[in-house]
Amino acid sequence: MQQLHQRLGQNTLTQGQSFTQTRQQLLRVLRSQNAPRTGTRQLAAQGASDTQQKYTLKTPGGGTYKVAAGEQFNVATAGAQALLRAGSGAFVSDKLATFKDRPAKPIQLFEFEGCPFCRKVREACSILDIDVEFFPCPKDGPTWRPQAIKETGKSQFPYMKDPNTGRNMLESDAIISYLFEQYGDGEVPIQFKLGPLTTITAGLAMLPRAGKGTQYRRSRLPKQPLEVWGYEASPYCKLAREVLVELELPHIYHSVARNSPRREAMTRKWNQFQVPYLEDPNTMTAMFESNIIIDYLNQQYALP
């Protein structure tokens, strides 16, 4: 690991203390944001003020979804995934108000974009409206994939760790059942109970993107995890997350699917709602627009 640190440069994280400390500080902020739903508007207003004081907004966003020039094919193929999965992960559950308390700390997932089993779990997290700390595990990735294999003894994904209960799990169906039992009402939605059909449709949904978000590209890792706001069924969020995975960039994903009550807090940050939205605490830069986010990630973290 020390050799890896030296190879990737001074800003590269390791499994050492600095990443742990900075992540814990960020998680304390998240716990305060996930506090009981009292004074929501006041908390949102305070969060917006803090964001505008801390971050420089690189792109103002437009408040509407427009396909950037030359990106029509990418957006179309990314959008096809949601169609093949009948929009699963586009909306939070209509039973959200009856669900159990939100997890105080984000669920941790070791996974990658090109995996149909991983997609199922990401959809479940969007429906449950819970935060996830992603440790991307692209093929040949030198950091998180080896860590997951070391902990589980298997090259199998997704791998979930719940720091709220201490549970560590493999197997997508078992993870989904656990999440709905622990943070939902115990009832797993029908789209996850179709047996082989669920896996087949999730696999077919991967085909239009032809393996994007699967293979590692050399990168230097941030000292602190990035923060992203989005949801699984959005084609624009999909494009940005492919790059996050390929570059092996750890990130905390705030799910704000349609009908999510957390959209209000996000809207108040810059007086608009648009996803994906990225905050990078390493550079104190914030931005909207998937193509701008992708360019930023490649310029800031990709290596030749």
Residues 240 and 290 sit within 8 Å (Cβ to Cβ): yes
Report yes or no on 272 lying in a domain: yes
Report yes or no on 6 lying in a domain: no
Comparing 75 with 239, the larger pLDDT belongs to: 239
pTM above 0.85, yes or no: no
Q: Is the dihedral of CA 236, 24, 110, 302 positive or negative?
A: positive
> CB atoms < 10 A from the CB of 186, how many?
10
Hey, which residues does 107 pair with through a beta bridge?
A: 132
At 289 the pLDDT is 93
Q: Is the dihedral of CA 216, 219, 224, 227 positive or negative?
A: negative
Residue 116 sits in a domain whose CATH number is 3.40.30.10
Residue 207 pLDDT exceeds 50: yes
71-85, 124-138, 172-186: range with lowest mean pLDDT = 71-85
Q: Which residue is associated with the tokens 């993107």?
A: 209
Report yes or no on 279 lying in a domain: yes
At 25 the pLDDT is 55
Give 256's Cβ-side CA count (13 Å radius).
20
At 1 the pLDDT is 42
Q: Is the peptide bond before 276 cis (omega within 30 degrees of 0)?
A: yes
Burial label for 170, CB within 10 Å (0-12, 13-18, 19+), is: middle
- Number of domains composing the chain: 1
Residue 256 pLDDT exceeds 80: yes
Report yes or no on 2 lying in a domain: no
For 248, left (φ over 0), alpha (ψ -120 to 50), or beta? left
* Chain Cα centroid distance, residue 90: 14
Listed residue (267, 303, 297, 304) closest to 282, CA to CA: 297
At 13 the pLDDT is 45
278's CB contacts (< 8 A; 6+ apart) are: 226, 227, 228, 229, 240, 286, 287, 293, 296
Report yes or no on 17 lying in a domain: no
Report yes or no on 67 lying in a domain: yes
Its domain, for residue 272, covers 43-301
Report yes or no on 223 lying in a domain: yes
Report yes or no on 18 lying in a domain: no
pLDDT class of 24 with cuts at 50, 70, 90 = low
Return d(Cα 302, Cα 246) in angstroms, integer: 9
Q: What is the CA radius of gyration of the chain?
A: 18
Specify the 3-state DSSP secondary structure of 279. strand
At 20 the pLDDT is 52
Quick: pLDDT tens for 89-139.
899 999 999 999 999 999 999 999 989 999 999 999 999 999 999 999 999
